Structure 1
Amino acid sequence: YDIIIIPETMENIDESTYKLIEEFMRSGGKVISFRDKILRIDGIESEKFTNLQELYSDQWIFVNDFNDPNWMSHLVSDQFTIIEDNINGELFHQRRILEDGQLVLFVNSDEKKSADAKISAIGKSVIKMNFADGSTSLITGTNENGKQIFNIHLEPIGSALYFISSEKLDAELYKEPNHTWEVVKTINKTEVNPDEENIFVINYLDLSTSKSKMTDTYFMTALTALFQENGIEFGNPWQHKIQYKTNYLDLNKFDEKSAFQVNYNFNISKDSDLTLLSEIKAVVERPELWTVSINGNLVENEKDEYWIDKDFPKYRIGKFLQKGKNTVTINAQKMSIFAEIMPVYILGNFIVEKNNGVMELANGDISKLGSWKENGYDFYSNKVSYTQKYSIEKNESDLKVKLNSWNGTVAEIYVNDVKAGIISCVPQELDVTEFIEEGENIITVKIVGSLKNTFGEFYRKDKSWIYGPHGWNNAPEHQPDYSEYILNDYGLFEPFELLQSN
């Protein structure tokens, strides 16, 4: 480092840090300090920093604030400058100086406004690097006094990576899109198909032990009570806790009097055709700890079949289902230190209907554009495919897929069953020219959801960007109305477009 910056609020510095700064200044380094004195080392008043400032007074630079010319003159270099146009977005950058040039990452953190800037940097060539496919292209700008001057434009939440080379490089020229585009008409109505089985979450339960009964209780409340009833006063040892050596495992000494039963209830619409629900499965964690039954019928987990994780086995329950109330039951012969009674998940070809705020399973699947929630796929976490067909007369035109109204973690684009790429941010489009064939083409957009709608948390509006284990602790005392669930609204809300350049 050439410069160390000390912030205004730094009143105390460790002795080890002081020694490093002393050595740094002895070697010619500079300190820019936003406070005039540092009075403490290791929390004890000391004159060491005052003496250091006096000894190296030419290297210790005090500044009042960010507008102080002393600050600017030491940190701003004409070797690399950024001049923002209009300052609409939130433009940030990270620069790495290498032996053969500079690597610069630009990011626009504004969710709604684009960012534009003019860049001036010492170098002989500028290469733009494509994050999506790894390709590189030469940027044309102007060369003035050994500096490359070029413009950048970043869409909201956009980013770009450039290499400013100290040598003249040969590469394919970057082509700034300047086409006009027209929409290619589809030859079919958008086909909608889920890629995986639907999901229903049961996270309220009935717990029965030899000492107590809990009815329609949130799973986290029940499992904490179960541990406490069996002598683990601090509740679940595996949540918000750290085990020292084997001190939690050593507590695994329970007798048959600690046996317990848990019932997970769910409803099937009285209008349903049960034969269409015969392939439904339940997912129950930790199969080695308990037996599982459905409506009084014992079921075994399917060998080598699991969902998401190997500790999430599947149980085929479809043939035992009935209209109205159904119950998945787990019976444990005795308590275990590993007995975290978690939600049960129902998988299958069904939709979730809401009857006066009460959720129930019914026949159907997602088959039209729009919200997954409105189509009965409220807890679904996988992909839904949206397919449109086109008749293309191949020529020199460019073609791109553009998404208009959608929500998901990412969108995968397939052309004639070949993955062409992904769309994740503005401008919400992908060049598919090389994948298009003469004649009929099938384009599929796969909207990808997330496990947020499957694992929760469900009952707290997230007002920050951090989710933590504590978020699952609080929930209504009893099964709430559907309206109290907070779920992301995923889906493709209108047909995507295929655009062809003129």
Structure 2
Amino acid sequence: MADLENIFRNPDFRFRSTPFWSWNDNLSVRELVRQVDTMKEGGMGGFFMHSREGLETEYLGEEWMECIRETVEKSSRENMNAWLYDEDRWPSGFAGGLVPESGGDKFRSKQLTMEEVEKIQPEENESVVGRYVIKLEEDELVESERIPGGREYNLSDDETGIIFRRKVSDPSPRFNGDTYSDNLNTDCVEEFLRLTYGAYKEEVGEKFGETIPGIFTDEPNIYSNFRSDAHEVPWTDDLPHYFETHRGYDLLEYLPYLFLKGSKSTKIRHDFWRTVSELFLEAYSKQLSEWCDQNDLQLTGHYLMENELGGSILVSGSVMPHYKYMDVPGIDILTESTDEPLTVKQCSSVANQFDRDRVLSELYGCSGWEFTFEGQKWVGDWQYALGVNQRCQHLALYSLRGCRKRDFPPSFNYNTTWWEYNKIVEDYFARLSALLSSGDPVRDILVLHPLSTGWSRFNGKNIDEVDEIGENFQNFVEKILALHRDLDLGDEMILSEHGEIKGDKVVVENAEYDILIIPHLETIFESTLHLIREFVDNGGEVIACRPLPDMVEGEKSEKVNEVLSKCGTTVVETPDDMEKALGDLHEREISITGKSGAEDDSLLYIQRSTDEREIYFIVNNDRTSPHEVDIEFAHKGRVQEWDPLTGSIEGIYAEKEKFGMRISAKIEPAGSRVYIIDKEKKPVDSQKNPPEEVDSKYIGPACEFERTDPNVLVLDFCKYRMEGDDWSEKKPVWEAQKEIREKLDMRPIYLNGIEQRWKWIDEPHENNGIPIDLKLSFKVENSPESPIYLRMERPEEYEITFNGEKKEAEPTGWYMDKSFKKIELGVPEEGENEITLTCDYRNDMEIENFHLLGDFAVDLDIRKITEEKDRIYFHDWCPQGYPHYAGNMIYREEVELDLEEEESAEVHLGDHFATTVEVRVNGESAGQVPWTSFKGLDITNWIENGRNEIELEVVGSPRNMLGPLHKKNPEKFTSSESFRPEGGDFTEDYVLQSYGLFEPVEIKILK
């Protein structure tokens, strides 16, 4: 890549993130255009226009297309990418319900079920796929006979009758009242392309390949009932014919062996799932890929349940082969976690093999409103070290109104209180993306994937058993990565079509490998066996783990043992023997050792090579401890450290070794380093002495402070009455609305996932207009001097009374989100205060928690408004009067600093919790401390000798305002259910996230 230094310092939109922009309300072109500007200001390079929970504009309708068209035009003017998304919510394929509506049962998803019967009756029902008489011995199938459809059969005592049926999926709110599509049906997918891709082509096709780079397909699958406990497998009407064409025999003769265990089961299961995989590839991904190629669009997206072997077989058959049809292959990893290396490696391996320079990750979903910049870095760094280089944040919410605020938060948009600082993280990852899209990955090891072993075991029900194979394989891969031996995975379907041996190398399309590793497998493809035989015969190196495979394509065979017994194969007894086996066969690209001299398994790396440079990105996945390591590179030249946070580039001293260069480094918790070896420049010949600490000053343990936002008191309990009835007991607001809707015979809306609102909100309901009263109360110990405000949604729908006085429902502005309106209440009275809200309730209404905003403190224990203090202490700000505060807190103190010549000053934060922290000196920003691994912010240039005003702006989040607030045992997976706990999962107490500086801040004087 030309001029990599300049691109690194100032990365353009190509390397910036493209979040899922959640189009989730009654859309306004004006508001969409405004939000394009806010995302650009926030450092993003584009977005995916994604229909989402709460949409009230008709999907693919005239207004929707106008919004698409105008947003694309705005993006074109702003030099941003406007990516398309191909579904109403997800999973892709049903076009919001238009596909099953168009084709009826032919296009609806189907399953194959097995039913045990007492008698084989003649049945001509079209749902019957096959009738069988079987014999079982100790639950094992020993005999099976297929009975023709018109024939009756009387069972003997030792026989069992079973019937296999084709079942059409039941309608579901998830699919807008219809079913999912049959993605094994080529005609069905063709209709999906016509209705969705074709519609976009007609509206904005002239922008394809320009402002619209491509389209995202999200979690397409072949088994929509994957959360069910039913014993079923995916099905389509053409499957028996397709199976016989590709496998050479009649599947229907052997169906019982698919579900039941018998001598032929491993073979039948292997062939069934292989065939299903091939049909899904051909019907869905290949068709989409060809359409996109013909229309100048890049295809991107990800597939369902990539992280589970059993689950992914059930819903996809296979995952990796689909990626070869994607221009930007992608994955999805939810929550703040780094425990799915297999998910990333499956995708980045295929990207390397098929020369795709970008790998996308839909990431951060379900991490909660408290998600920090450090969380973004920790998760993102880990994924980038495994091969990702394009972020798609989940989600940038268009609106937080109603159910939308609970759509797997956080939001990466203007409607979160830390948004003004977002560009810091965007710049960091854009710089990383520019580097990690340069050159080619350096990976010399290919590890066979155990997919076919999973096929041979899987009967459609025993997911846990097959998932365990995947988990063991993931542990195996992790052990190799921990040895700092990077690798790709070899999928046997891909190998059968694109694998070959060239000399002593295994070649998969565009990638070459020196070593082939065979983990513990039970079966392999015949084509894989031929590749191994040729590789070994050509002098290639194979490492195989015991026990060795004893089946070929699901059938017992001695062939594998014969091939692997040849010279050139190293057989290891356990995965722990892999380090020695690799060391004997292959020179290292890098070594990262700790004090013990062993490879430090908390650190990961990725290497990319260009003609002039070797690029190394090293990540400390340990979030609690720093790691001091020695790093040896197998290349010579000038070692430089490139800092993605600041854009700085600095040559550093490295010791020359026999084959390369060696440095020492301390990598902080969740920290990372970029080292680049410029092979055409001489090494730095002298080492700088680190500065010495000569003095320290401290801020704390208490100081003056200032809020940036109004304080908040959550009003999430109420009483209600209908048509003048008695008041209810006090209960959560959401529970009150649930009861109201049940009494009015209206659909439930207390949890997300119902039929999309655009399908039903304009329909009249017989109980629309029933009068409803809500009563909210709160206590005041000290009345604030200024008025307080009620934050509510759609105030125009209510009559508002405060302490008996009617209030105007005209908003005086908004807070956080444009749907969060502020209604002035005035100054509250000391003692009990009461708000009454009256409305004529309608089916389309959403009653949400209310909030008081203003200049006051909140007593955490008694939950009453009280007087603010003059100073804030260095511990959690929640019990200091701010339990629900969503904004930032500025800690302010004057510090005497007199720097002598050659002295400098650095700010070092101690324990704290914040989204990020900005440091200002004498009113000017000196920079950010976005994560704890960033040690020592230099403030020298802003210091004046004498008294200096230091401000530390601790950036908060909406977590303690929007929740979850009453979930007794919070989990890392945040969904709409998290905000509506019931039974033993509910507590009346408020479960809060601590915020603030928790210990004094040190200013170090260095020389």
Question: Normalised by the shorter chain, which TM-score bucket?
Answer: 0.7 to 0.9
Alpha-carbon offset, residue 309 of structure 1: 0.3
Tell whether the 8 Å contact from 1:124 to 1:146 is kept in structure 2 after alignment.
no
Is the helix fraction higher in 1 or 2? 2
Distance 2:630 2:727 in 1: 69
Match of residue 520 from structure 2: 35
Distance 1:35 1:359 in 2: 59
Distance 1:280 1:33 in 2: 68
Tell whether the 8 Å contact from 1:33 to 1:62 is kept in structure 2 after alignment.
yes
Given the superposition, is the C-alpha separation of residues 416 and 254 from structure 1 closer, same or farther in structure 2, using an over 3 Å criterion?
farther
Tell whether the 8 Å contact from 2:857 to 2:865 is kept in structure 1 after alignment.
yes
Alpha-carbon offset, residue 307 of structure 1: 0.4
Given the superposition, is the C-alpha separation of residues 175 and 348 from structure 1 closer, same or farther in structure 2, using an over 3 Å criterion?
farther
Distance 1:24 1:475 in 2: 53
Match of residue 379 from structure 1: 884
Match of 2:729 among 190, 194, 215: 215
Given the superposition, is the C-alpha separation of residues 186 and 474 from structure 1 closer, same or farther in structure 2, using an over 3 Å criterion?
closer
Distance 2:958 2:873 in 1: 21
Alpha-carbon offset, residue 252 of structure 1: 5.1
1:351 lines up with 2:857 in the alignment: yes
> 425-434 or 116-125, which moves further after superposition?
425-434
1:260 lines up with 2:772 in the alignment: yes
Match of residue 62 from structure 1: 544
The Cα offsets for residues 190-236 of structure 1, whole Å up to 9 and x where unpaired, read as 32222222111111111222378532111222222233333234x10
Match of residue 455 from structure 1: 962
Alpha-carbon offset, residue 312 of structure 1: 0.2
3-state SS, counterpart of residue 67 of structure 1: helix
Match of residue 749 from structure 2: 236
Alpha-carbon offset, residue 315 of structure 1: 0.7
Give unpaired runs (5+ residues) of structure 2: 1-352, 354-443, 457-489, 508-512, 547-573
Match of 2:624 among 104, 112, 116: 112
Alpha-carbon offset, residue 460 of structure 1: 2.7
Match of 2:873 among 355, 360, 369: 369
Tell whether the 8 Å contact from 1:123 to 1:148 is kept in structure 2 after alignment.
yes
The Cα offsets for residues 383-427 of structure 1, whole Å up to 9 and x where unpaired, read as 211222233334220111223343333221101111111223046
| 2:919 alignment partner AA | I
Tell whether the 8 Å contact from 1:193 to 1:367 is kept in structure 2 after alignment.
no
1:22 lines up with 2:496 in the alignment: yes
Tell whether the 8 Å contact from 2:771 to 2:840 is kept in structure 1 after alignment.
yes
Is the strand fraction higher in 1 or 2? 1
Match of residue 98 from structure 1: 610
Given the superposition, is the C-alpha separation of residues 24 and 341 from structure 1 closer, same or farther in structure 2, using an over 3 Å criterion?
same
Alpha-carbon offset, residue 76 of structure 1: 5.1
Distance 1:11 1:364 in 2: 65
Distance 2:808 2:757 in 1: 35
> 154-163 or 200-209, which moves further after superposition?
154-163
Alpha-carbon offset, residue 377 of structure 1: 1.0
Distance 2:639 2:492 in 1: 41
Tell whether the 8 Å contact from 1:349 to 1:365 is kept in structure 2 after alignment.
no
Structure 1 residues 29-428: aligned runs within 5 Å: 29=507, 31-38=516-523, 62-64=544-546, 65-69=574-578, 72=582, 77-86=587-596, 90-121=602-633, 122-145=635-658, 147-168=660-681, 175=688, 177-184=690-697, 190-210=703-723, 214-233=728-747, 235-236=748-749, 239-243=751-755, 246-249=758-761, 251=763, 253-269=765-781, 272=782, 274=783, 276-301=784-809, 303=811, 305-319=813-827, 321-337=828-844, 339-354=845-860, 357-365=861-869, 367-370=871-874, 371-394=876-899, 395-423=901-929, 424-426=931-933
Given the superposition, is the C-alpha separation of residues 207 and 192 from structure 1 closer, same or farther in structure 2, using an over 3 Å criterion?
same
TM-score normalised according to structure 1 size = 0.84
| 1:33 alignment partner AA | I
Alpha-carbon offset, residue 18 of structure 1: 4.3
Q: Which has the higher contact order (CA 8 A, sep 6+)?
A: 1
3-state SS, counterpart of residue 871 of structure 2: coil
Distance 2:601 2:711 in 1: 40
3-state SS, counterpart of residue 259 of structure 1: strand
1:11 lines up with 2:453 in the alignment: yes
Given the superposition, is the C-alpha separation of residues 307 and 391 from structure 1 closer, same or farther in structure 2, using an over 3 Å criterion?
same
The Cα offsets for residues 323-356 of structure 1, whole Å up to 9 and x where unpaired, read as 222222322223132x2211111111111125xx
Distance 1:318 1:420 in 2: 39
Tell whether the 8 Å contact from 1:218 to 1:476 is kept in structure 2 after alignment.
no
| 2:940 alignment partner AA | T
Tell whether the 8 Å contact from 1:306 to 1:313 is kept in structure 2 after alignment.
yes
Distance 2:981 2:912 in 1: 31
Alpha-carbon offset, residue 159 of structure 1: 1.9
The Cα offsets for residues 160-197 of structure 1, whole Å up to 9 and x where unpaired, read as 22222222179999856331231247899832222222
Tell whether the 8 Å contact from 2:694 to 2:1005 is kept in structure 1 after alignment.
yes
3-state SS, counterpart of residue 961 of structure 2: helix
Distance 1:168 1:196 in 2: 52
Given the superposition, is the C-alpha separation of residues 257 and 189 from structure 1 closer, same or farther in structure 2, using an over 3 Å criterion?
closer
> 360-369 or 196-205, which moves further after superposition?
360-369
Give unpaired runs (5+ residues) of structure 1: 40-45
3-state SS, counterpart of residue 665 of structure 2: strand
Match of 1:466 among 973, 989, 1005: 973
> 181-190 or 287-296, which moves further after superposition?
181-190
Given the superposition, is the C-alpha separation of residues 186 and 47 from structure 1 closer, same or farther in structure 2, using an over 3 Å criterion?
closer
Distance 2:958 2:701 in 1: 32
Distance 1:265 1:326 in 2: 6
Given the superposition, is the C-alpha separation of residues 314 and 465 from structure 1 closer, same or farther in structure 2, using an over 3 Å criterion?
same
Tell whether the 8 Å contact from 1:182 to 1:499 is kept in structure 2 after alignment.
yes
Match of residue 42 from structure 1: none
Distance 1:116 1:489 in 2: 30
Given the superposition, is the C-alpha separation of residues 162 and 255 from structure 1 closer, same or farther in structure 2, using an over 3 Å criterion?
same
Tell whether the 8 Å contact from 1:137 to 1:174 is kept in structure 2 after alignment.
no
TM-score normalised according to structure 2 size = 0.44
Given the superposition, is the C-alpha separation of residues 461 and 155 from structure 1 closer, same or farther in structure 2, using an over 3 Å criterion?
farther
Given the superposition, is the C-alpha separation of residues 328 and 89 from structure 1 closer, same or farther in structure 2, using an over 3 Å criterion?
farther
| 1:62 alignment partner AA | A
Alpha-carbon offset, residue 314 of structure 1: 0.4
Match of residue 222 from structure 2: none
Q: How many residues align?
A: 483
Match of residue 437 from structure 1: 944
Match of residue 1004 from structure 2: 499
Distance 2:581 2:1002 in 1: 51
Tell whether the 8 Å contact from 1:350 to 1:365 is kept in structure 2 after alignment.
no
> 377-386 or 281-290, which moves further after superposition?
281-290
- Percent identical residues: 21
Tell whether the 8 Å contact from 2:639 to 2:684 is kept in structure 1 after alignment.
no
1:446 lines up with 2:953 in the alignment: yes
Distance 2:813 2:972 in 1: 35
Given the superposition, is the C-alpha separation of residues 489 and 125 from structure 1 closer, same or farther in structure 2, using an over 3 Å criterion?
same
Distance 1:449 1:188 in 2: 20
Tell whether the 8 Å contact from 2:698 to 2:1001 is kept in structure 1 after alignment.
no
Given the superposition, is the C-alpha separation of residues 142 and 17 from structure 1 closer, same or farther in structure 2, using an over 3 Å criterion?
closer
Distance 2:746 2:648 in 1: 58
3-state SS, counterpart of residue 307 of structure 1: coil
Alpha-carbon offset, residue 67 of structure 1: 3.3
| 1:425 alignment partner AA | T
Match of 1:486 among 991, 995, 1002: 991
